[in-house]
Amino acid sequence: MPEGHVTGFDLSEVFLDKARQTAVEQNCTNADFVQGDVYNLPFEDDTFNVVHTHQAVCHFHEQVKAIKELLRVIKPGGVLCMREADSDTVRFWPPQPLLDECFEMIRAVQRANGGSPDAGIKLKHCTVEAGVPRDKIEFTAGDFVYHTREQTEAFGMTWPGRVTQGALADKAVEMGFATRERLEE
């Protein structure tokens, strides 16, 4: 989007630093990055043409309140676009106990934090609750099937690394859903 401007927003400075670094590596000069909480966005009413969230609503404990706040900062006629998974439907065949364990841990931490691993299936309902008329909502769903060696490796091999370190791993240990020894195995 060479003529536009993108503001990246997240609660976590760790994620924001990664995004800033990626922007520098890709010579992206029309983006800035702001830290804050979705329930109290540091932006004026009617600021953005488009607000896009990706895999974020599943972490919010008050989803309707968050969506209302996202709507507040969109200009009249603008678009709110949200993309969420329903991770209850993630399945593997042949059985992959290690990946099942990773996803169980992610879902347990999300639920214990008040989030919803199945946010995808609930998005329309939450958006209606947030005050958007039904005829203004487009709701679609899709699925991914990973079957080539490249696809299964790209998907499967990232998860153990993603769940065994960082804030998620710390939370899982703190909440008793994993032990440090198991994560290090």
Ligand X SMILES: C[S@@+](CC[C@H](N)C(=O)[O-])C[C@H]1O[C@@H](n2cnc3c(N)ncnc32)[C@H](O)[C@@H]1O
Q: Is 51 in the site for ligand X (CB under 6 A)?
A: no
Q: From the list 51, 59, 105, 107, which residue makes contact with ligand X (rule: CB under 6 A)?
A: 59
Q: How many distinct helices (H) and strands (E) make up the chain?
A: 8, 4
Examine residue 88 and tell whether it contacts ligand X (CB under 6 A): no
Given the rule CB under 6 A, which of 4-12, 93-101, 124-132, 136-144 is the region that contacts ligand X?
4-12
**Residue pointed to by tokens 């439907």:** 89
C-alpha count within 13 angstroms, C-beta hemisphere, residue 184: 5
Using left for φ > 0, alpha for ψ between -120 and 50, and beta otherwise, residue 166 falls in left
The residue (of 39 and 139) whose beta carbon lies closer to ligand X is 39
- C-alpha 41/C-alpha 106 separation (Å) is 26
Residue 60 beta carbon to ligand X: minimum distance, rounded to whole angstroms: 6
| Nearest distance, CB of residue 65 and ligand X, angstroms | 10
- Residue 54 in contact with ligand X, rule: CB under 6 A: yes
Q: What is the CB neighbour count within 10 angstroms for residue 146?
A: 13
List of residues contacting ligand X (CB under 6 A): 10-12, 15, 37-38, 54-56, 59-60
